Amino acid sequence: MAVVVITGCSSGLGRLVAMAFARRGDRVYATMRGRDRGRELLDTAAAEGLVVRVLELDVTDDASVQRAVDQVLEAEGRIDVLVNNAGLLHFGSVERLPDELMRSTFDTNVFGAVRMLRAVLPAMRLRRSGVIVNISSVAGRLPAVPIVWSYMASKHALSAMSDALALELEPFGIRVISIEPGWFRTDIVDKAWRPPAGDSPYRTLDAAVVATMETAVNSGGEPEAVADAVVDAVANDDGRIHVIVGYEAEFLLDQYQSLSEPEMTSFYKELIDMAAPAPVG
């Protein structure tokens, strides 16, 4: 029975990951920015006769992270698995994406994971045991799509961090896994900031990319498959750091590995229908 801490559990994938570990019989600490946001998760767990513990934790706040981790360590004496799941996406061109949204993307997706690691790793190193799971994306292995660049850049950073972390932690008996899904039906796009049309010179491209992402996510696979992949990767060490999840992720990565750079650019243009003329300005 492992002690599992998961970030970003108020909805979407985090909630499913929490339930997947709970069904395995683990002691699950599902964290989120406000405990009141965990009612649905608690009700779902109770309906199945399972126990999930909800903790308040904001990955962008050092004190909040340390407070929550200390609570778990005081109650359990250890943390066996950390799942860095909290993440967000904002749409916007390099020129027009507001600075505060650019920073919030990295503060949550990258520095939030680092905060969690700094709080959890000392206890794992002392026990010379543990598993770190970073929920990245196949987007972190591909050239960036316009308008989604900040999200993809943050996932590139998270995937690169996983590579470095795996080598840093191997001497301490701690495994690192980067889960890299393709398109699955979650609410990440619904929650994303979208650039106002207005007189933006990128408004045609903004609209095309947002529409493409909405269609891809809404027609994507069931997110339970990602939660199952997380649990399976923790339970079965096959030596991999990067775990690709879903047909679309495998297809996109195969395209990148087999196409030339100009061919990949043409593939992206076709994918997001960039044939429409750009507005003047």
Domain ranges of the chain: 3-271
The torsion of the CA quartet 102, 81, 129, 111, rounded to 10 degrees, works out to 10
- Bridge partners of 178, per DSSP, are 134, 242
Q: Extract the tokens encoding 216.
A: 């891809």
pTM of the model as a whole: 0.93
- Read off the pLDDT of residues 180-231 as tens digits, 9 standing for 90 and up: 999 888 888 888 899 987 878 999 999 999 999 998 888 888 899 999 999 9
Phi-psi region of 195 (alpha: psi -120 to 50; beta: other; left: phi over 0): beta
Give CATH for domain 3-271: 3.40.50.720
From 186, 114, 188, select the one nearest 151 (Cα to Cα).
188
- Burial status of residue 212 (CB atoms within 10 A of its CB: 0-12, 13-18, 19 or more): middle
Determine which one of 151, 202, 247, 256 is catalytic: 151
Name the band, by pLDDT with cuts 50, 70 and 90, for residue 271.
confident
Q: What's the CA gap between 116 and 157, in Å, rounded?
A: 16
Q: State the virtual CA torsion across 213, 217, 218, 223 in degrees, nearest 10.
A: -170
Look up 268 and say whether it is catalytic: no
